[in-house]
């Protein structure tokens, strides 16, 4: 690389460092948790989902600390104040290729996004988690914004188990697809301008279970007029699934429904975790359809929490 090219690359990296620093908060700062999140039950336990939230905040803070630390070190190295180490060189190269540095991925969550859209996605996630801290559990939860959607699902079952005094291992989720579709990016953009019930299109939180939003359908789309899950439109690779009501129950009839696997990312392979399941797999969501399950299995129809863009 010639000196001019190097200088241009340095300048580009410094600009990137500056813009990421402006966009990404140093931590999920909140003054105090909303009182509803600390309400203890008769057995003096704080809500299960509060525990999930605090673990998530902790993970985000660790990621943010690594991220801002590497921005600071890389800036010093480019300016010649410290030696450009091998690990900083790796981040420098990643920035040049619009990729997320491996050092961030290893402290982060599964993602297949390029650097610019990863940064925007992280902004939305921090805002979502901070809002949950400050305003209490939202009307509908963006499970896609969490490091571990699985712990959130377990927390939801535990909430039900405690409330109704049933053993958690007897519980399963049933699913009802609502008529409202929510987009986290729109909630993020409009939060300062709209009332909360407007943001969530006047959904009322259910008395049992929880609403989640932001899931995508691959190789299919949702249309109640056509009986639920139906074939994707021509050239439409991804469709949005409306809000899903996760309903804990003890007996479940699958019936004519398709068990759509929910993955974190479109790259369906994942590392096998200690449970023997892929870390990318979250759970199977039962979807009504007039077509038999085999139709969807052949098409490889699945749900994902995050798309590559």
Tens-digit pLDDT profile for residues 272-283: 555 555 678 899
Residues linked to residue 225 through DSSP beta bridges, in sequence order: none
Residue 92 and residue 78: Cα distance in Å, rounded? 9
Residue 29 and residue 44: Cα distance in Å, rounded? 27
pLDDT at 5: 85
Phi, psi of 232 (to 5 degrees): -65, 155
pLDDT at position 246 over 70: yes
pLDDT at 148: 92
Yes or no: say if 147 and 59 are a contact pair by the CB < 8 Å rule: yes
Nearest to 258 by CA among 291, 299, 287, 226: 287
The pair of structure tokens assigned to 218 is 């691959």
pLDDT at 188: 94
Instruction: Just give the CATH number of 1-137.
Output: 1.20.1270
pLDDT at 156: 98
Mean pLDDT value across residues 234-241:
91
pLDDT at position 254 over 90: no
Q: How confident is the model at residue 3 (pLDDT cuts 50, 70, 90)?
A: confident
Whole-number average pLDDT of the chain: 93
Yes or no: say if 228 and 152 are a contact pair by the CB < 8 Å rule: no
Residue 156 and residue 267: Cα distance in Å, rounded? 27
Domain ranges of the chain: 1-137, 145-308
Q: Would you give the DSSP letter of residue 98?
A: T
Residue with tokens 């939801």: 156
Mean pLDDT value across residues 227-243:
94
Residue 127 and residue 191: Cα distance in Å, rounded? 10
Residue with tokens 């994902």: 304
Q: Give yes or no on whether 1-137 and 145-308 have one common fold.
A: no
Sheet harboring 244-249: ordered strands across? 140-141, 210-212, 244-249, 172-177
Mean pLDDT value across residues 285-295:
96
pLDDT at 276: 56
Q: How confident is the model at residue 265 (pLDDT cuts 50, 70, 90)?
A: confident
The pair of structure tokens assigned to 252 is 């479940």
Q: How confident is the model at residue 124 (pLDDT cuts 50, 70, 90)?
A: very high
Nearest to 171 by CA among 162, 183, 180: 162
Counting DSSP H helices and E strands in the chain, the numbers are: 9, 11
The pair of structure tokens assigned to 42 is 């008769």
Antiparallel, parallel or unpaired: β 302-304 and 238-240: unpaired
pLDDT at position 285 over 60: yes
pLDDT in tens, 140-157: 999 999 999 999 999 999
Mean pLDDT value across residues 210-239:
94
Instruction: Just give the CATH number of 145-308.
Output: 3.10.490.20
Of all residues in the chain, the percent with pLDDT exceeding 90 is 83
Question: Exposed, middle or buried, 136 (CB in 10 Å: 0-12/13-18/19+)?
Answer: middle
Lowest mean pLDDT among 29-43, 123-137, 150-164, 273-287: 273-287
pLDDT in tens, 54-110: 999 999 999 999 999 999 999 999 999 999 999 999 999 999 999 999 999 999 888
Mean pLDDT value across residues 262-285:
73
Residue 64 and residue 73: Cα distance in Å, rounded? 14
pLDDT at position 268 over 70: no
Residue 178 and residue 168: Cα distance in Å, rounded? 25
Residue with tokens 């068990």: 259
pLDDT at 278: 61
Phi-psi region of 114 (alpha: psi -120 to 50; beta: other; left: phi over 0): beta
pLDDT at position 309 over 80: no
Of all residues in the chain, the percent with pLDDT exceeding 70 is 96
pLDDT at 31: 87
Query: Residues with Cβ < 8 Å from 17, sequence gap 6 or more?
Result: 71, 74, 75, 95
């Amino acid at each position: 690389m010639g000196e001019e090219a190097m200088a241009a690359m340095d300048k580009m990296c410094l600009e990137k460092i500056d813009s990421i620093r402006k966009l990404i908060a140093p931590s999920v700062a909140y003054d105090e948790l909303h009182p509803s999140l600390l309400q203890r039950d008769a057995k003096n336990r704080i809500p299960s989902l509060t525990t999930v939230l605090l673990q998530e905040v902790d993970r985000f803070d660790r990621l943010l600390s690594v991220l801002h630390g590497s921005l600071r070190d890389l800036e010093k190295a480019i300016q010649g104040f410290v030696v450009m180490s091998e690990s900083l060189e790796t981040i420098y190269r990643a920035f040049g290729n619009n990729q997320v540095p491996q050092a961030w991925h290893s402290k982060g969550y599964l993602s297949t996004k390029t650097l610019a859209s990863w940064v925007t996605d992280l902004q939305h996630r921090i805002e979502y988690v901070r809002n949950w801290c400050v305003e209490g559990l939202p009307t509908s939860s963006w499970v896609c914004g969490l490091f571990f959607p699985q712990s959130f699902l377990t927390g939801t079952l535990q909430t039900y188990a405690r409330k109704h005094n049933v053993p958690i291992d007897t519980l399963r989720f049933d699913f009802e697809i609502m008529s409202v579709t929510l987009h986290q990016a729109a909630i993020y953009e409009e939060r300062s301008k709209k009332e909360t019930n407007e943001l969530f299109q006047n959904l009322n939180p259910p008395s049992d279970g929880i609403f989640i939003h932001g899931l995508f359908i691959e190789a299919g789309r949702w249309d109640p007029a056509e009986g639920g899950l139906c074939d994707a439109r021509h050239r439409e690779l991804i469709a949005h699934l409306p809000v899903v009501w996760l309903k804990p129950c003890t007996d479940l009839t699958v019936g004519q429904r398709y068990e759509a696997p929910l993955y974190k990312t479109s790259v369906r392979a994942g590392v096998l975790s200690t449970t023997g399941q892929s870390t990318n797999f979250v759970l199977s969501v039962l979807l009504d359809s007039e077509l038999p399950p085999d139709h969807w299995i052949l098409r490889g129809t699945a749900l994902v929490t995050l798309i590559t863009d």
